[in-house]
Amino acid sequence: MQSKEPEAGENAAASPREGHNAVTLEPTQQDDASSIHPLRYVVMAETNARPSLPIVSPCICEHLVFLSGELDAQKDWENVRSVAQQLGQSVGTAEQQQLVLEDERVIFKWERHTEFCSYTVICKNPAEAVDSVFGNLITVDLMDTTLGTPLGKPIVAQRFYIDTPENPRWSENGETTLLTGNRLVAVTASGGSARIMSDFTFQDDGFCRFLVCENSGNPNRAGRLIHRLIDIETYRTLALIAWPIAKSAGRDIGQIDDELRKLIQAIGTAGQEYQARLLTDLTSLAARAETVGVETNFRFSAAKAYYSIVESRLEELREERIEGYQRLSAFVERRLGPAIRTFQAILDRQNSTSQRIARASSLLRARVEIELERQNQDLLSSMDRRSHLQLRLQQTVEGLSVAAVSYYCIGILSWLLKGIPKGFLPIDPAVITTVAAPFIVLSVWMMVRRIRKSAHDDEKTS
């Protein structure tokens, strides 16, 4: 018994017939502004945004994705206005992020995302001679009207041929006429109600082709199926555009690791004269590692987010294997899964390299600080020795000063005594000089000591 996909919310998907422009919710006059938070309208608008288009078999669906850097916003909006004019409809302002237009022949949807903008068109019940839509039924500057090939640089270009088992316009022989790859991917999805086949290769017109045979009879359900296939290919491609960056980052990190290994070896043996240069080299390595991280972190994080979307869409397909063909999930996972793990490994390696550079810098700074401390200790020891020498020299000078001052004092006393007549002195002047000499020396010594003590006390108080 085939499992049935949940139908809840099928009719909630916005139909182009019900509203051509993006879903917007605004407070009405009947709403009580005080009872509803203003952000509720923003949240509800985002919840109902980007609905899948209803698919009625048979039809052809084409999807183009352009990176924001490959198509400027003004050119993007001019293309949307051109399509609206061809369909005889009007558009709003360039600030819109999504738009759905429809006439009796086609349904057109345009969306602007953070990193890319997308164009989706569905040709309803195309004639037998119609094989493409862009450049055929709808003319835009993005397409070559004679060849039907993209003129711009789309990162994703898909074409879906959708029919039913009752009217197998393409699926009956499309495996040999529309798909040219040697390795075909084929699964049943949505509980067996759809059969999907593709070769995931670029055809001459630049499109990757999908054959879809859908027999649920529910346009909304078929629309969600195509929307999931579009998301799988779009986000798979956007995730893998980080691969060239990963290869370049891997080479850069390898070179940084090699230079870091040599610097770490040099840290243990380098003399003092080379330490400043080593620290400069480590700082330069740290700057290079941070530059690599700045260039890759966002891209790798985005790739991981896109990968989670791809996994979610693959799970929602509820695919079942068809004997003799490769499963869609196996094809996608075969390269995407290892690539995402490679991105994570490079991120881990970047973090590890940055941490080792930081540790090496800390080690070198520790060596420099130890060397500075040793130099400071030597300097302090030298200053201590000089202080002792100065003290001894000072003491020597003080002793010499006492002797010199005492000598001059005794000499003055002797000259004074010699100038006194002999009759006035009962004692010989030489005897007086001899007796007074010790007292003079002691007095001078005490005076010098007092002066030194006073200077020492002033130094302590200051």
Give tens-digit pLDDT for 214-260: 888 889 999 999 999 999 999 999 999 999 999 999 999 999 999 88
Dihedral angle of Cα 284, 287, 292, 294, to the nearest 10 degrees: -170
- Alpha-carbon torsion (95, 98, 101, 105), positive or negative: positive
**Nearest-angstrom CA–CA distance, 397 and 393:** 6
For residue 326, which phi and psi values (nearest 5 degrees)? -80, 145
Report, as an integer, the average pLDDT of 321-346: 92
Distances (CA, A) of 407 to 101, 398, 440, 446: 122, 14, 9, 15
Of all residues in the chain, the percent with pLDDT exceeding 90 is 27
Per-residue confidence (pLDDT) for residue 143, from 0 to 100: 66
As given in the structure block, the two tokens for residue 118 are 């997308």
Tallying the residues shown for the chain, one arrives at 462
Q: Amino acid identity of 443?
A: S
As given in the structure block, the two tokens for residue 102 are 């429809």
Give tens-digit pLDDT for 368-377: 777 778 888 8
**Nearest-angstrom CA–CA distance, 199 and 181:** 5
Report, as an integer, the average pLDDT of 110-121: 90
Q: How many CA atoms lie within 13 A of 429 on its CB side?
A: 15
**Nearest-angstrom CA–CA distance, 49 and 113:** 12
Q: What is residue 20's three-state secondary structure?
A: coil
Per-residue confidence (pLDDT) for residue 8, from 0 to 100: 39
For residue 27, which phi and psi values (nearest 5 degrees)? -65, 135
Per-residue confidence (pLDDT) for residue 34, from 0 to 100: 60
DSSP label of 104: S
DSSP label of 95: T
Report, as an integer, the average pLDDT of 80-84: 88
* pLDDT of residue 367 exceeding 90: no
In sequence order, which residues have a C-beta less than 8 Å from that of residue 176 and are 6 or more positions away? none
Burial class (CB in 10 A: 0-12, 13-18, 19+), 374: exposed
Give tens-digit pLDDT for 135-190: 778 777 766 655 566 667 788 999 999 998 888 888 777 677 788 767 889 999 98
Distances (CA, A) of 8 to 4, 226, 316: 11, 18, 14
**Considering the chain, what is the average pLDDT of its residues?**
81
Peptide bond into 58 cis (omega under 30): yes
Give tens-digit pLDDT for 393-418: 777 777 777 788 888 888 888 888 77
Identify whether the C-beta of residue 194 lies closer than 8 Å to the C-beta of residue 218.
Answer: no
Per-residue confidence (pLDDT) for residue 33, from 0 to 100: 52
Per-residue confidence (pLDDT) for residue 455, from 0 to 100: 72
Report, as an integer, the average pLDDT of 42-65: 86
Where do the H-state alpha helices sit in 241-271? Answer: 243-269
H and E: helices and strands count for the chain: 8, 9
**Nearest-angstrom CA–CA distance, 309 and 367:** 50
In sequence order, which residues have a C-beta less than 8 Å from that of residue 197 and are 6 or more positions away? 171, 174, 175, 179, 184, 185, 186, 210, 211, 212, 325
70: pLDDT confidence band, cut at 50, 70 and 90?
Answer: low
Identify whether the C-beta of residue 190 lies closer than 8 Å to the C-beta of residue 222.
Answer: no
Q: Amino acid identity of 232?
A: I
Per-residue confidence (pLDDT) for residue 32, from 0 to 100: 53
Report, as an integer, the average pLDDT of 430-457: 80
For 461, the enclosing helix (H) or strand (E) is: helix 429-461
DSSP label of 2: P
Q: What is residue 122's three-state secondary structure?
A: strand
For residue 66, which phi and psi values (nearest 5 degrees)? -120, 130
**Nearest-angstrom CA–CA distance, 457 and 454:** 5
As given in the structure block, the two tokens for residue 46 are 């985002």
**Nearest-angstrom CA–CA distance, 98 and 116:** 12
**Nearest-angstrom CA–CA distance, 42 and 27:** 11
Per-residue confidence (pLDDT) for residue 221, from 0 to 100: 92
18: pLDDT confidence band, cut at 50, 70 and 90?
Answer: very low
Radius of gyration over every alpha carbon of the chain, rounded to an integer in angstroms: 46
Per-residue confidence (pLDDT) for residue 243, from 0 to 100: 93
Report, as an integer, the average pLDDT of 279-284: 86
Identify whether the C-beta of residue 103 lies closer than 8 Å to the C-beta of residue 88.
Answer: yes
pTM here?
Answer: 0.73
Give tens-digit pLDDT for 84-103: 888 888 887 777 888 899 88
